[in-house]
Amino acid sequence: METIRFKEFGILVDSERTREFYKHQNNILEDCSCSDCDYFYNTFSKLPFSVYKFLSLSGVDLQKNLASEPTGVQCAVENNNLIFCDQDCLFFGKLPKEELEFTYIESNLNFKVYFYHISDYEIKVQINLSTN
């Protein structure tokens, strides 16, 4: 277990267990091959957003869906520009509080990131991005 910072919080993370979990999840394009999912998989998921950096350090594979939510990524793209994206991720660890919510702007996108425990050791992350 290690502590990784996101914004002003240190979050206890089991990145090894999280990486092992994601080895058994489907790639996004295995669940959906539409042009929007292709854009997310091949372009958007590789951008250096602060929440994506945190999740990658935590062991999350942003190019995979959760088996429990095969439509874990929903996005809309117009002219190679993202209009909105909703994504759910999961990692193993402990939050410093029951839930954390962040709203901020990065790279001209509005981010809303919500962390909460779904069990003592599992943390669900909901990410909502929009251009408005």
CA–CA dist 69, 102 (Å, integer): 23
Model pLDDT, residue 130: 85
Residue-wise pLDDT for 73-128, tens only, equals 777 777 777 778 888 899 999 999 888 888 888 888 888 999 999 998 999 998 88
Q: Considering only CA atoms, which of 93, 99, 32, 92 is closest in space to residue 63?
A: 32
Say yes or no to pLDDT of 54 above 90.
yes
Confidence of residue 132 (pLDDT cuts 50, 70, 90): low
CB 84 within 8 Å of CB 129? yes
Model pLDDT, residue 69: 60
Query: What is the residue whose two structure tokens read 């779904």?
Result: 118
CA–CA dist 56, 58 (Å, integer): 5
Model pLDDT, residue 32: 83
CB 102 within 8 Å of CB 33? no
